[in-house]
Chain A
Amino acid sequence: MASAPRMSKYSIFSLVRNALAYHEGWEQVWRSPEPKPEYDVIIVGGGGHGLATAFYLAKEHGITNVAVIEKGWLGGGNTGRNTTIIRSNYLWDESAGIYEKSLQLYEGLSQELNFNIMLSQRGVLNLAHNLHDMRELERRVNANRLNGIDSEILSTAEIQDFIPIINTSPKSRYPILGGSLQRRGGTARHDAIAWGFARGADQRGVDIIQQCEVTGIRQSRGKVTGVETTKGLIKAKTVGVVVAGHSSVLAGMAGFRLTVNSYPLQALVSEPIKPVLDTVVMSNAVHVYVSQSDKGELVIGAGIDGCHGYTQRGSLHVIEGQLGALCELFPIFSRLRMMRQWGGIVDTCPDASPIIGKTPVGGLYFNCGWGTGGFKATPGSGWAFAHTLANGEPHPLNAPFTLDRFTTGKLIDEHGAAAVAH
């Protein structure tokens, strides 16, 4: 099948070589092919998860006759609008398994993709402001460590040492009682994840078809046969749907319902400033989290908006609330300014865990429900979903995350660990 179109590698040497040629020799990161009538596998949704799935299908399973179909521009969904926090310190074994796999993949991803994703393992600190928080953190840290995940408790004094600008005054309304730190956690450059996976998948022959919306899911005798799109019918016997906030819309096309609800989740950035914050700081109790990007902006988020929505924007009062909390935690941020705010559409599950696997329709698989926290899972989710699509059965890492768990009751309740978005 379609052999790798180009294979030029990125390196300091290629940069110098191209500089001498006025950068006119660079190849396309990905092609813009017209869809073929049929593929072995179609992936609907060109976000990080969809592209990672395509990449691992090609790389790990040798399946390259694959199309990724994206209605807008690749990476333009939640992948392009998240606050880039990466960590694996989840409570339950099932979650720990898949998120830790993901973090491990992240750790080698720049090299694997030959695309610098700027993984910055600067540590993620979760704050506790009351005894209940403290207990929950302690429980999670203990569970993490038995699951082989680095995690530690910091005292208030240690937090102050670690982050000199944080307000640990016992007089604040909700004083900081302690925190948990995952040092391997951090951030990565979100766009680079999408672009790196896209480039890697494209190099292995995957067709990435942008500006092409899936409008229907064709089935025959309970099995999927293809998808209708704004560029016509495209056939495939295996279809993986990875459309995050739009999952219910796609499920509706296929004739079933999901357990997800779509909400706006907002984030904002401050104007860029010189480095003041070297760690990701999150607080459930006062509802805010913040990190500083390599470019200098503070990247700030909180919980989801109060009502369903597909508008990709949210309500100002949510932002107002989160900034009250932020200025309490970091009084020196009060005079900095918000430069831009935006929203994404997150698909939340009742137990704050994802759904990755089979659906009532044969050959049709869904990967959704990552809600406020799936960026960190991107490589792991793609890796496991690729396995699922390639084998028709889930990998043990994603086997617990079935849609069926809502029938059996075997939920994986990660509300505590999922936190205020992340």
Chain B
Amino acid sequence: MSQVNRLPDGGRIDRDQSLAFTFNGRRLTGYAGDTVASALLANGVRIVGRSFKYHRPRGIVGAGPEEPNALLQLETGGRALPNQQATRVELYDGLSADSVNCWPGPDFDLMSGIGLFHRLTPAGFYYKTFMWPASFWKYYEHVIRRAAGLGRAPTAPDPDHYDKMNAHCDVLVVGGGPAGLAAAAAAAASGARVILADDQPELGGRLLSERAEIDGGPAMDWAAAAEAAIAGTEDAIVLKRTTAFGYYDHNFVGLIEQRGAILPDGGDRSRQRIWRVRAKQVVLATGAIERPLIFADNDRPGVMLAGAVRSYVNRYGVAPGKRVAVFTNNDDAYRTALDLADAGVAVAVAAVVDVRHDPSGDLVTQAMARGIEIVDGAAVTGVQGSRGVRGIEVMGLNEAGDGVTGAARDIECDVICSSGGWNPAIHLHSHAGGKATFDAERGIFLPGETLQAATSAGAAAGTFDLAGCVDGGAEAGKAAAAQAGYKKSPRRKNPKIATEDEAPLRLIWTVPTTAPTGRRGKHFLDQAHDVTAADVQLAAREGYRSIEHAKRYTTLGMAPDQGKTGNIPGMAVLGQALGVDNVGDVGTTTFRPPFTPVTLGALAGRDVGPLMDPVRMTPIHHWHELAGCTWEDVGQWKRPWYYPKDGEDMHTAVSRECKAVRDAVGILDASTLGKIDIQGPDAAEFLNRVYTNAWTKLGNGRCRYGLMLGEDGMIMDDGVTTRLADDHFVMTTTTGNAASVLEWLEEWLQTEWPELKVFCTSVTEQWANATICGPRARDLLAECTDIALDAESFPFMSMQDATVAGIPARIFRISFTGELSYEINVPASCGLSLWTALINAGDKYGITPYGTETMHVLRAEKGYIIVGQETDGTTTPQDLGMDWIVSAKKDFIGRRSFAREDNQRDDRKQLVGLLTDDPSTVLPEGAQITETRLERPPPGSTVPMIGHVTSSYHSPNLGRSFALALVKRGRERIGENVYLPLDGGVARAEVTGPVFVDPEGSRIDG
């Protein structure tokens, strides 16, 4: 049998289902129910990787999310998953895993030479060196970067997908150990909606790893019954393989569920799902995480957590070694000794080394009875074997616990089970602002005051006996349900659980050896980042006295395991180095989400690819698409940019479209413009306040252009508003601002002027808008409608209801191009019909669909602005020469700001036109303008600028280029030259007025 460490029987694995996998190319087998870690251990693999900084050989330490060392690269290509904790990956057939951070492999790693220089590379050494010569840092950095990092990113896009589920419940229970099961069962029994989430494939928590009994039978039988009871209640959701990763404000908890049958491949389902849970009450039954004892060379492969070894023996049927020593400061680790002793002949317990004198609890007595040697009042002072434990050196511990006494004794062993006590997993409690209180006796942090509707139960609350966990869990579940409004709870009987008497632990934070810490072997606190007790002591010595400084200086707790095993010992080492009385006063670093790393793609969910953001489509969208337009993104809308005919480039297409509008007729889909229906007796007064010009006297059926300012006096939006009746207007806004303008209007109405009787309703999408534009527009429209269209009957800036192509329509005679123009609005569902009718009827007039680019050229030729292009949040109406639209007679939003000093400056930038010397030069939009001819300066020196180009095009109508610009004192400069330093040299341009075509406005009537 190749699984040399597999016990002959026992465990929760399925020995009938053998699974093949590879590790660093080696073919191995394990069983269904194994994790990669248990399978590797079963196969006798000891070295699973190399350490981050010193490239020391490392083995498996834990059996869960606390694992610092066994971070593997899973699979390859697009399915690669770096840095996976072997202890959390369920084995599957065909799995392929590799070690990270070593080359060519963990057994022989070329970088291990680095370890020789370890004395030169204490915490933070890089801050002190690599500075000379200054210019060399980039080479040093290159080397540092290559050396750092762990696994490798996938090399192809993710073939899997992810999704999310919003969920609500009365009681969310996190953790499905005895406490969580009891809590969930109690809450569910009361009728509350319960969600129970546990990160393991099976519920039971620690019970999966222990030989505990409840009601006289295996505790897992009790767990199975509890699970069935919960799952059996209406509305309960039980989520396995689901980790609560973050606890956020107002009882919002993020869970991540693994859904694919195997970790790296979701199959047809989403690989992982984020549950966004809003709970009325939360019970945190997340258990506790064992912490190691910090002794010299405690990172050698074979040094493991005692509780983890119990998991391997009891849950996975694996004995990680043949001769196991236990090193403990508490009674719980004796369970490991007992379980190993009971595991059969394959494994022997070398000894229990206990830092306490005369340990005395029930478990100790049992161990003695089993004939296990107990070396009390002793310390492990050294580990033999650099590539794997071969034995330990043990010496007596002095009274104070800070020195060793007596003679050294060697004990042969290949595994060391280390236990320094258990830390309640208060991570989630702390995420959302919960306090932690220090229990100095036990050296642990307990959940304190919380800002959330939450309680902790079981080991997470510092209750370590099983009976207490079950009882406390049930109480917490019942209380949570009651808080959520489910007061009635059925009577339950407490299960019978025998409790062993356990003696207190003895806190020894760093286990002394024969030399000061750091001089003989390394005492690792954070194996993932290679942080030692000496590093933390150095930090303290150098003045990084705050735990937060020490963390950042040494990188303690900053690796993917986030210091689940090392943080608390690290804090204590710092406390001792600083000489504080109560190490708890040093405090913890801040617990932050996620509890364990969360896939970025899962957090993105389905908001990627085609669903990344909605594509907003007008009713005519698909016509444009068939016509082969190119699109411009405007907010979420797609708008036709231009319509290239076969072989046309943008320039040719746009020129053709521009000519068509000025010479014949063009048609534009303007459906995206914002439209707001404004009704009520105070509607005109309201417009007076939000626009710069006056609205009271506007006649019914008449249209007026308006500028909207922010209260800071800067232009915010513009558009045409039409009076439909005395108390009824319809406002148009720019496409991009449609939603924000409506919200702005509502804000003023609701918060500032509730006395105004006005209602606003968005009708943007109620109407499709086809705008026909050009000298033949009237002829075209006449074919489709019966109303009189001559300039007198239907004058510029007016509106009429009519039927166009059989469709009821609102026609607005307004123009953004200076040409005769009709904006025909029809019910959106008729938009496409209208459009095709106009296209067909317009054929004989040479109708040409045009896009936003042509629209921009044509409006610029007329000097019409685009908000966001000619304006940038610092532009006033006066800057644009639009004083004419600013009423002096009334107050309006923004008016007071004009009077401020800066708006009175005489060198403000003003809107002007520019004509380059060379008519073929189209200036880049955004080009900067200088007063005199200046080249671009060399880096480090500057050239004064007087403005910039806002819009710039080639105009087929002018037969040349032209531009609009904002230029200091621009209007005074008309007729003068300015300069534009560009990539290819300096261009010269003459300043002109901003209107290039038809300044008299004679074309407006066709």
Interface residue? B560 (CB, 8 A): yes
| Residue A327 at the chain B interface, CB threshold 8 Å | yes
Interface membership of A157, Cβ < 8 A = no
Q: What 7 pairs across the A-B complex have the smallest Cβ distances?
A: A296-B149, A138-B926, A139-B926, A334-B601, A337-B597, A331-B157, A409-B902
Query: Which residues of the other chain, A, contact B941 by a CB distance below 8 angstroms?
Result: 148
Smallest Cβ distance from B781 to chain A, in angstroms?
31
Asked whether B600 lies within 8 Å of A119 as measured between CB atoms, the reply is: no
How would you classify the secondary structure of chain B's contact residues: helix, strand, loop or mixed?
loop
User: Which residue on chain A has the smallest CB distance to residue B133?
Assistant: A111
In the complex, which of the residues B144, B592, B615, B981 contacts A146, with contact meaning CB atoms closer than 8 Å?
B981
0 or 1 for each of A135-156: is its CB under 8 Å from B? (1 = yes): 1111111110111111000000
A210 CB within 8 Å of chain B? yes
Contact of A148 among B553, B901, B928, B942 (CB under 8 A): B942
B249 at the interface (CB under 8 A from A): yes
Q: Please report which residues of chain B, range 848-882, place their CB below 8 angstroms from some CB of chain A when the two chains form the complex.
A: 868-869, 872-874
Residue numbers in A under 8 Å from B924 (CB-CB):
138, 142
Docked Cα-Cα span, A340 to B561, in Å, equals: 10
Could you list 11 examples of A-B contacts with CB < 8 Å? A96-B942, A115-B128, A148-B937, A276-B153, A321-B607, A327-B601, A332-B153, A334-B158, A335-B158, A337-B560, A340-B558
Q: Are B158 and A275 in contact (CB under 8 A)?
A: no
By a CB distance below 8 angstroms, the chain A residues around B615 are 173
Residues of B within 8 A of A324 (CB): 604-605, 607-608, 612
B541 within 8 A of A: yes
Binds A, one of B77-85, B192-200, B203-211, B413-421: B77-85
CB distance from A352 to the nearest CB of B (A): 10
Complex Cα–Cα for A27 and B538 (A): 10
**CB–CB A111/B150 < 8 A:** no
Q: Does B2 contact A (CB under 8 A)?
A: no
Please state if A120 and B601 are interface contacts (CB–CB under 8 Å): no
Say how far B694's CB is from chain A's closest CB, in angstroms: 25
Task: Judge if A93 is at the interface, Cβ distance under 8 Å.
Answer: yes
Interface 0/1 of B706-740, CB less than 8 Å to A: 00000011000000000000000000000000000
User: Is A197 in contact with chain B by the CB < 8 A criterion?
Assistant: no
Instruction: Judge whether A116 and B541 touch: CB under 8 Å.
Output: no
C-alpha spacing A273/B153, complex, angstroms: 6
Judged by a CB distance under 8 angstroms, whether A114 is at the interface is yes
B807 at the interface (CB under 8 A from A): no
Is A230 part of the contact surface with B, judged by Cβ < 8 Å? no
* A413 in contact with B127 (CB, 8 Å): no
**Chain B neighbourhood of A333, CB < 8 A:** 153, 600-601
Least CB separation from B981: chain A residue:
A146
Q: A323 contacts B600, CB within 8 Å? A: yes
A2 within 8 A of B: no
Sort chain B's interface into a size bin.
35 or more
- Answer yes or no: B492 CB below 8 A from chain A CBs: no
Question: Given the complex of chains A and B, what is the CA–CA distance between A411 and B905 in angstroms?
Answer: 13
Q: Is A26 in contact with chain B by the CB < 8 A criterion?
A: yes
Q: Report the minimum CB–CB distance from B874 to chain A (whole Å).
A: 5
Give the residue of B122, B129, B145, B605 whose beta carbon is less than 8 angstroms from that of A12.
Answer: B129
Q: Which of B554-571 contact A (CB under 8 A)?
A: 555, 558-560, 562
Is there contact, CB below 8 Å, between B119 and A19? yes
Contact partner of B612 (CB less than 8 A), chosen from A27, A139, A173, is A173
Known contacts A80-B552, A275-B146, A276-B153, then 18 further A-B pairs from the complex at CB < 8 Å, ordered by chain A residue: A23-B122, A32-B543, A32-B545, A138-B925, A138-B927, A139-B925, A139-B927, A141-B926, A150-B939, A173-B610, A191-B553, A196-B127, A272-B560, A324-B604, A328-B608, A332-B157, A333-B600, A340-B562
Contact (A140, B926) CB under 8 Å given A11-B128, A335-B601, A408-B901:
yes
Contact with B along A288-331 (1 / 0, CB 8 A): 00000011100000000000000101011001110111111001
Which B residues lie within 8 Å of A74 (CB)? Answer: 549
Q: Is A395 an interface residue (CB 8 A)?
A: no
Interface residue? B409 (CB, 8 A): no
The interface-forming segment of A125-133, A245-253, A360-368 is A125-133
Q: How far is the CA of A27 from the CA of B612 in the complex (A)?
A: 54
Residues of A within 8 A of B137 (CB): 110, 116, 118-119
Contact across chains for A319 and B603 when beta carbons are under 8 A apart: yes
What residues of chain A have their CB less than 8 Å away from a CB belonging to chain B? 10-12, 14-16, 19-20, 22-24, 26-32, 72-76, 80, 93, 96, 108, 110-111, 114-116, 118-121, 129-132, 135-143, 145-150, 165, 172-174, 189, 191-192, 195-196, 210, 270-276, 294-296, 311, 313, 315-316, 319-321, 323-328, 331-342, 350, 405, 407-411, 413, 415-416
| Known A-B contacts A114-B131, A270-B600; A28 and B546 likewise in contact (beta carbons under 8 Å) | no
Among A31, A129, A139, the one with the most B-chain Cβ atoms within 10 Å of its Cβ is A139
- Residues of A within 8 Å of B108, CB to CB, are none
Interface residue from B158, B519, B548 paired with A331 (Cβ < 8 Å) = B158
> Is B945 interfacial (CB-CB < 8 Å)?
yes
Instruction: Name the CB-closest residue of A to B613.
Output: A173
* Interface contact A409-B610, CB-CB below 8 Å: no
Contact, CB under 8 Å: A334 / B928:
no
Contact check, A335 vs B81: say whether CB atoms are below 8 A apart.
yes
Residue from A30, A146, A149, A320 with most neighbouring chain B CB atoms (10 Å): A146
A316 touches B252 (CB 8 A): yes
| Shortest Cβ distance from B607 into A: residue | A324
B252, A338: Cβ atoms closer than 8 Å: no
A108–B431 Cα distance when bound, in Å, is 39
Q: How far is the CA of A73 from the CA of B545 in the complex (A)?
A: 9
- CB pair B156–A332 under 8 Å, yes or no, is yes
- A407 CB contacts on chain B under 8 angstroms: 900-901
Nearest CB in chain A: distance from B16 CB, A: 32
- B458 CB–A CB distance under 8 Å: no
Q: Is the CB of A146 within 8 A of B605?
A: no
Known: A270-B600, A272-B150, A332-B158. A120 touches B141 (CB 8 A): yes
Q: Which residues of A contact B607 (CB under 8 A)?
A: 320-321, 324
**Given contacts A73-B548, A135-B925, A340 and B872 within 8 Å (CB-CB):** no
With A32-B543, A276-B153, A294-B148 known as contacts, the answer to whether A334 contacts B604 (CB < 8 A) is: yes
The CA of A30 and the CA of B546, in the complex, are separated in Å by: 12
Please give the distance in Å from A66's CB to the nearest CB on chain B: 18
Kindly list chain B residues whose C-beta atoms are within 8 Å of the C-beta of A120: 138, 141
Contact of B542 among A28, A80, A415 (CB under 8 A): A28
Q: Is B132 interfacial (CB 8 A cutoff)? A: yes
Contact B150 A10 (CB under 8 A): no
Kindly state whether residue B938 has any CB partner on chain A within 8 Å. yes
In the complex, A140→B945 CA distance in Å?
A: 12
Q: Bound state CA distance, A389 and B598, in angstroms? A: 47
Instruction: Given A135-B869, A142-B926, A339-B560, verify A311-B433 contact (CB < 8 Å).
Output: yes
- Asked whether A336 lies within 8 Å of B153 as measured between CB atoms, the reply is yes
B633 within 8 A of A: yes
B149: chain A residues at CB < 8 Å are: 272-275, 295-296
Among the listed B543, B593, B927, B936, which residue makes an inter-chain contact with A30, where contact means beta carbons less than 8 Å apart? B543
Q: Are B872 and A130 in contact (CB under 8 A)?
A: no
Please indicate the chain B residues that have their CB under 8 angstroms from the CB of A96 in the complex: 942
- Measured between beta carbons, the chain B residues less than 8 angstroms from A337 are 83, 560, 597-600
- B936 to chain A: which residues have CB within 8 Å? 145-146
Task: List, in ascending order, chain B residues with CB within 8 A of A147's CB.
Answer: 942-943
A22 touching B937 by the CB < 8 A rule? no
Given A32-B543, A114-B131, check contact A271 B158 (CB 8 Å).
no
Residue of B nearest to A115 (CB): B127
Q: A146-B937, A149-B939, A272-B150 are in contact. Are A409 and B903 (CB under 8 A)?
A: yes
Expressed in whole angstroms, the minimum distance between the Cβ of A19 and any Cβ of chain B is 4
**Best-surrounded residue of A132, A141, A296 (most CB of chain B within 10 A):** A296
Q: How far is B55's CA from A334's CA once the two chains are assembled, in angstroms?
A: 29
Interface presence of B518 (CB below 8 A)? yes
Answer whether A148 and B248 are a contact pair too, CB < 8 Å, given A121-B138, A410-B902.
no
Do B542 and A27 have beta carbons less than 8 Å apart?
yes
A141 to B983, CA, bound (A): 11
Q: In the complex, which of the residues A26, A110, A142, A341 has the most CB atoms of chain B within 10 Å of its own CB atom?
A: A142
